[in-house]
Amino acid sequence: MKYSELNLDPRLNSAIEKLNYTEATAIQEQTIPHILAGKDVAGLAQTGTGKTAAFLIPLIERILRTSDDPAHERAFKNWNARSFILILVPTRELADQINENVGKIAFGTGLKSYPLYGGTGYEKQKEALLSGLQFVVSTPGRLIDLYKENHVDLKQVAAIIFDEADRMFDMGFKDDMKYILSRVPRERQFLVFSATLNFDVLNTAYQFGAEPVEINISRDQAKAENVKDVILHVGQEEKPQFLLSIIKKENPKQTMIFTNFKHNVDRLAKFLMDNGIPAMGISSLMNQSQRNNVIEKFKAENDHNVLVATDVAARGLDINGVDLVVNFEMPQDAESYVHRIGRTGRAGNEGKAFSLISDRDVESLGRVEEYTKKKIEVLFMEDSELLKDFKPLQSEDNVFKRRSDGPRDSRGPRGRGGDRGDRGGRPDRKDRGPRPPRGDRPENNRGDRPENQNASRAEGADQQRSQAPRGEGAEGRPQHAKPHGQRPPRHQHKDQNREHKHGDRPRQGQGGNKPRPQHANGSQPRSNEAAHARPSQPAQSRNFRSNARGGQAKTAPKSIGDKVKSFFQKIFG
């Protein structure tokens, strides 16, 4: 289908022609008529097939028709001066990219758009919202922040679009999506697009009143046709050598290298630079300004044509010039593999994707092949094709050592930021060395800590701590968690201390209480509570201690020598 057949607004037609859009792609051909009719749509298609234009072109057309003739069949029924289209995306890079596409497709129409996301100041975003926008492209977190401060009126949403919806669920935005959907009008138009759609996404759409027309142009094909993907079985230590050899052999113009771990990004970028290959890295450890700068340099035509990235860059980035993708590690989930290799072979171009498979990646490979329903071709490189002389990759041990030697604040964000799928944070417990004994830890003295400090700890940690055995002091006595007032040390057993320990309980002979039972020698039996509370002492020191309640003093037992002497005295007088 040609765009000229859609009878679009002349201003929109002019912008499309400047972008050289003439023939609609499969996803565009099947979705645009439904969107123009005001229907809800769930579109599933591989990356690089034009999903963004599939919803932007018909929505711009509807807005233009509404401003010219509110009674037009394509017009929004309840559009007013404050109405806008809300596009929700999982990452900041995708927000910038879609905002840029709105500007291109709506060029010359007077429609305005602005991206909202974290990592940048609020003021410019607030000013943009006050100026009046027809398109708001936002990550869920920043949108909710602005909504709670009354800078965004969600009741004015005429259509809501979830782009890369499955990625938002994977990154933990499910509750945010429900929060937003519960506050936009029920009669809004609902659109959801992704390369993969899971049951949770569609179930959420139905839960909030959407009845989407499901369009799936890739039901039997999980990845794009024009991407040739292969795997190489290598040892874990051989991966750097094979990475350099692949880049040398293929000689690509633009390459993206994916790793599962953000601490590997700088390592791999430095490794490539040390071996004469200009490279840059991008991960959630960078602030937004740095990330934008890296993306712009990578898109530009210069010698920085290699980008090392985590999955934060795997989704939604539309960079048509990428002709090679290398998975340094196989992703944990199969859908991420589809999105990674989808960075190449875009807009009808041919692309190649290589995955380095060691013993650590075998399970992930199995999940990918099960998902794509095909065995990935195995490639073997001749020994002559492998580079022998190169500078080695810095070991992970040196990276962690350098971080631990630096200041605490140099370790980067602790699991925060706009990209939850690329999680930051402190090293695992095992990487931080052994715990000190509980008796030596300052937190054992809980009397000096605020009472509400335990409330901030995770519930599971509290349970573990409560079940853990108490540490012991130098004499084997249990260390109590909380001292009771001014209680004296345990080794003092005077009457006033006993009275303090038992509160206001009257002593024998007071208040009409019955006298306590006594042993034959006049001493009183100790209660179980007192027996457990009082520390054990050597027998000799106990026997020489006078009874605190007035009983007869105990004598020390006779030694063996005294017993023998006494025996002979009885016999021989």
pLDDT, tens digit (0-9, with 9 covering 90-100), for 157-197: 999 999 988 778 877 888 999 999 999 999 999 999 877 76
Contact by Cβ (8 Å): 138, 55: no
26 or 493: whose pLDDT is higher? 26
Q: Average the pLDDT over 230-258 and give the result.
A: 93
**φ and ψ of 472, to 5 deg:** -120, 150
pLDDT, tens digit (0-9, with 9 covering 90-100), for 52-93: 999 999 999 999 999 999 999 999 998 999 999 999 998 888
Going by pLDDT thresholds of 50, 70 and 90, the confidence category of residue 561 is: confident
Query: Which one-letter DSSP state was computed for residue 476?
Result: S
CA pair distance 342, 316, nearest whole angstrom = 9
Nearest to 231 by CA among 90, 407, 75, 364: 364
pLDDT at 63: 96
pLDDT at 424: 40
- Token pair listed for 270: 């430095």
pLDDT, tens digit (0-9, with 9 covering 90-100), for 535-560: 444 444 444 444 444 444 445 566 77
- Comparing 12-16, 48-52, 269-273, 383-387, the range with the smallest average pLDDT is 48-52
Q: Average the pLDDT over 367-380 and give the result.
A: 89
> Within 10 A of 415 (CB to CB), how many other CB atoms are there?
12
pLDDT at 503: 43
CA pair distance 203, 521, nearest whole angstrom = 81
Sign, CA torsion 239/240/241/244: positive
> Within 10 A of 185 (CB to CB), how many other CB atoms are there?
13
- Token pair listed for 160: 């809501």
CA pair distance 44, 42, nearest whole angstrom = 7
Percentage of residues of the chain with pLDDT beyond 90: 41
CA pair distance 342, 329, nearest whole angstrom = 16
pLDDT at 397: 58
438 or 168: whose pLDDT is higher? 168
pLDDT at 197: 64
E-strand ranges in 146-286 read 157-163, 189-194, 213-216, 227-233, 255-258, 280-282
Contact by Cβ (8 Å): 348, 25: no
pLDDT at 567: 74
pLDDT, tens digit (0-9, with 9 covering 90-100), for 1-59: 889 899 999 999 999 999 988 889 889 999 999 999 999 999 887 767 788 999 999 99
Contact by Cβ (8 Å): 307, 257: yes
pLDDT at 46: 72
pLDDT at 475: 39
Going by pLDDT thresholds of 50, 70 and 90, the confidence category of residue 123 is: very high
Q: Average the pLDDT over 196-215 and give the result.
A: 83
- Average pLDDT score, the chain: 76
- Residue in the block written with tokens 């949403």: 157
pLDDT at 390: 93
pLDDT at 335: 79
Domains of the chain, with CATH numbers?
3-216 (3.40.50.300), 227-390 (3.40.50.300)
pLDDT, tens digit (0-9, with 9 covering 90-100), for 317-351: 667 778 899 999 999 888 788 888 888 887 667 88
Going by pLDDT thresholds of 50, 70 and 90, the confidence category of residue 316 is: low
pLDDT at 189: 96
- Comparing 285-294, 354-363, 430-439, the range with the smallest average pLDDT is 430-439
Q: Determine the residue type at 548.
A: A
